Amino acid sequence: MNFQTILTSLKKQVTPFEETRKISKTAVITIWSIFIIGLWFSAGMKETHLFPTMTQVWEGFTGLWSEGLATHIGQSLKLCGEAVLYAIIVSLSFAYLSSLPILKPISRLLSKFRYLPLTGISFYITMLMNDARTIQVWILVVFMTTFLITGLLSMINDIPDEEYDHARALGYNRWHILWEVVILGRLDYVIETIRQNLAIVWMMLVTVESIMVAAGGLGFLIKNSNKFMNHGRIIALQICILLVGLGLDYGLTKLRKVLFRYSKI
């Protein structure tokens, strides 16, 4: 590779909307990764440093693993799974039934509740329920439902009128149109909307677990590590949370592509 080729490749990297080859993308990711790791390593060499060193993070990770990190990850995933399942059922019900004039205002109102603070939601749910795990689940359900309904309503509003006209031309009644065009015809978009909102739930999950630590989970570990000012453990936990979240995101993306090969998303 001569100097001119390298210069052309670099020029493409700073040109908006420029298509690059896969090897170029891999090279850019590798360069940025080396830069970040190098910056982290150099910052840890100083006598006083705000960010923990790689050794401290590794020691924190090994300590957490010996204390049952995998079990706590499983607890957090179970909590997330329960909350997401209930939120999907509630959100899809209200979103699909928003086509009924009598329920449309309710669906719109629920989407506006996304501006409510988590503290207020948790206060009233705590008053209604006693079990710590149930409280955590329903705080996340309420939180995710408001955002998920917003995304689903936007998805439904973006359906072109031509698709409804095509269904009418085929002689479908209105309930059949709802089933074919809105429900079956947008399942790939539903999975994509769930994927986007799952990140919100996974982010809030640690906060919810740290509020009520009785059921364990990653939030419990972070709260304990923060209590004893163990920054190595905190960063190790943050990396674990990020990797698990990216894994969930990747899994849902792959699921959508496998089930809907011809999706235009």
pLDDT in tens, 19-54: 777 667 777 788 888 888 888 777 666 666 667 878
On whether residue 151 sits in a domain, the answer given is yes
Query: Would 68 be classed as within a structural domain?
Result: yes
Residue-level pLDDT at 162: 92
- Report, as an integer, the average pLDDT of 151-168: 92
What gap in Å lies between CA 143 and CA 204, rounded to an integer? 9
pLDDT in tens, 241-250: 999 999 999 9
Which residue pairs, CB below 8 angstroms and at least 24 apart, start in 188-193?
188/256, 188/259, 188/260, 188/263, 188/265, 189/155, 189/265, 190/92, 190/152, 190/155, 191/252, 191/255, 191/256, 191/259, 191/260, 192/256, 192/265, 193/148, 193/151, 193/152, 193/155
pLDDT, tens digit (0-9, with 9 covering 90-100), for 46-79: 666 667 878 888 888 898 898 888 888 998 899 9
Burial class from Cβ neighbours inside 10 Å (0-12, 13-18, 19+) for residue 115 reads exposed
- The range of the structural domain enclosing residue 105 comes to 54-259
Mean residue pLDDT across the chain:
85
- Residue 42, domain member (yes or no): no
Confirm if 232 and 56 have CB atoms less than 8 A apart.
yes
Going 240 to 244 to 245 to 249, the CA torsion angle's sign is positive
**Helix or strand holding residue 86 (H, E):** helix 69-96
What's the domain count of the chain?
A: 1
Please indicate, yes or no, if residue 264 is contained in any of the structural domains.
no
Q: Is residue 134 part of a domain?
A: yes
Spatial CB neighbours of 263, under 8 Å, sequence gap ≥ 6: 188, 256, 257
Residue type present at position 30: T
Average pLDDT over residues 133-138: 86
Residue 173 is predicted with a pLDDT of 92
For residue 95, what are its two tokens? 């979103």
Whole-angstrom distance, CA of residue 195 vs CA of residue 207: 20
Q: Is residue 26 part of a domain?
A: no
Q: Which residues contact 156 (CB under 8 A, 6 or more apart)?
A: 95, 98, 99, 182, 186
* Residue 125 within any structural domain of the chain: yes
Residue 122's CATH number: 1.10.3720.10
Instruction: Measure the CA–CA gap between 156 and 99, rounded to whole angstroms.
Output: 9
Closest CA to 186 of 263, 252, 249, 258: 263
Assess if residue 5 is contained within a domain. no
pTM (2 decimals)? 0.82
Q: How far apart are the C-alpha atoms of 214 and 189, rounded to whole Å?
A: 37
Q: Which residue stretches of 158-230 are H helix?
A: 161-169, 174-177, 187-211, 218-227
